A = this chain, B = another copy of it.
Amino acid sequence: MKDKLIYSLNKRYAVKKFDPTKKLSSEQLQTVLEAARLTATSYGLQLMKIVVVENPEMREKLVSCSFGQRQVTDASHLLVLCRERDLDLKHFEDYVNLMATTRNQDPKSLDGFKNMMVNSILTKSDEEQTLWLEKQVYIELGNLLTACALLDIDSCPMEGFIPEEYDRILNLEEQNLAAVLALPIGYRAADDPNAQRKKVRRSQENFVLTV
């Protein structure tokens, strides 16, 4: 496993040019989505959703709010990693109820846990909540980049787009969602210029400190 992991992480890079003719199978897509669903999040709350954008007109519109990056249309699939937009008590009640059902517990026995989460999170300012929610989505991105690499699926992590425009085009606000990151996935084009470039990384000596 060690060799496959390090090989895959070395092979991974941000694809500049996808091959638009190469598509993920639906089984591959399901595996990626399942990996996403299993991502660790703070308290396990999963205050996020993934939007799979299949509609070609929508994808075309998204290019213009992504600084013209054609990965948005050319990749096999476009994933938009979203956070919940506004948090309220129901998010925590739903989670605790799901936990109780999953683990065959009395939801009442989880009141202390629920109140601890509520006191920790709903007392944050709106801005702090947003940032904390966004960070959870970055964990998801880190997981997905590695998962895709291991599955021999190419990807391009994207912070560079106008989130408000994504929200508008994908009608995310009415789902209480907000776009945080985009992740086109598929297969590199044979002539992708980025594929040939040697990976640039600081040495272990400049990356690790032991104390």
Interface residues of A (CB under 8 A from B): 1-2, 4-6, 9-10, 12, 14, 31, 33-40, 42, 44, 46, 48-55, 58, 95, 98-99, 102-103, 131, 134-136, 138-147, 150-152, 157, 159, 170-171, 175, 177, 197-202, 204, 207-211
Contacts and interface: CB of A to CB of B under 8 A. Distances in A.
A198 B103 contact: yes
14 contacts: A1-B150, A1-B152, A5-B147, A40-B157, A49-B209, A50-B209, A51-B210, A52-B208, A103-B198, A135-B138, A139-B145, A146-B147, A150-B150, A170-B211
Contact of A50 (B31, B102, B208): B208
Contacts of A5: 31, 35, 147, 150-151
Contact of A42 (B4, B135, B146, B159): B159
Nearest to A141: B139
Quickly give the copy total for this chain. 2
Contacts of A58: 211
A175 B209 contact: yes
A12 B37 contact: no
B38 A201 contact: yes
A1 B4 contact: yes
A63 to B, nearest CB: 16
